[in-house]
Structures are given as C-alpha cells and as structure tokens.
Amino acid sequence: QAVVTQEPSLTVSPGGTVTLTCGSSTGAVTSGHYPYWFQQKPGQAPRALMYDTSKKHSWTPARFSGSLLGGKAALTLSGAQPEDEADYHCMLSYSSLHWVFGGGTKLTVL
C-alpha cells in the first residue's frame, strides 16, 4: 500500500504564511489523486477543508488555498490566525475507491 507523507509539525507566526505538503511514495501527486485536506482540533472529529486539490467547502476560510507544488499536494495558509492551530491531515485516492491518509501535521500558531 502507498505511504502518504506530511511534515510532522510546523510553526507559523500570527499573520504569517505557511505551506503544508502531502507526498506519495508512488511518485508525484497529481490531480488524479483528488487530494483532500482535513482540519482537526483537539477532541473533535476532523472536518474537510479542501477537496479535489483546491476546491473549498463553504466553511473553509479564504486564507486557506490548495495546490500541487513540486510533485506534492500543498495547503497554504496565508494570514494565520490563532484558531488555525490544529492538526491537518491530507488524503489521497489510489485506484478506484481506495484512500490513504498521511500521518498528519501539527500546526502551531505562535
């Protein structure tokens, strides 16, 4: 089974910009992996932020954006807020109806 890799932890200053990435052991991440990004705060269920690389849910703040960057999926946060401190999980699709999550990135806003 493929392995999806994320940075274990990142720190961003309030108002700053940070990019989280999501790589695949099978090679470059493409739009065909339909990358998802989920945000999870302590004690809560995850919530989908981004799907299909760069599409946002209605509740996704405008400061989040998704892209493909250097063979990886990327989630960029521009203008970080204290409430953005959370775990971020990416998920990729492999073949039909099989999904794999990355290990998650703990984002600290400090």
Residue position matching structure tokens 């269920």: 45
Of 15 and 31, the one with the shorter C-beta distance to other proteins is 31
Decide if residue 42 touches other proteins (CB under 8 A). Answer: no
The residue type found at 100 is V
Decide if residue 62 touches other proteins (CB under 8 A). Answer: no
Q: How buried is 94 (Cβ within 10 angstroms: 0-12 exposed, 13-18 middle, 19+ buried)?
A: middle
Decide if residue 63 touches other proteins (CB under 8 A). Answer: no
* Of residues 66, 88, 65, 60, the one with CA closest to residue 78: 65
The residue type found at 34 is Y
Applying CB under 8 A, the span of 10-18, 21-29, 64-72, 83-91 interacting with other proteins comes to 83-91
Distance CA 89, CA 63 (A): 17
Decide if residue 57 touches other proteins (CB under 8 A). Answer: yes
Footprint (CB under 8 A) of other proteins, residues 9-38: 36, 38
Report the interface residues with other proteins, using CB under 8 A: 1, 36, 38, 40, 45-48, 51-52, 55, 57, 87, 89, 91, 96-104
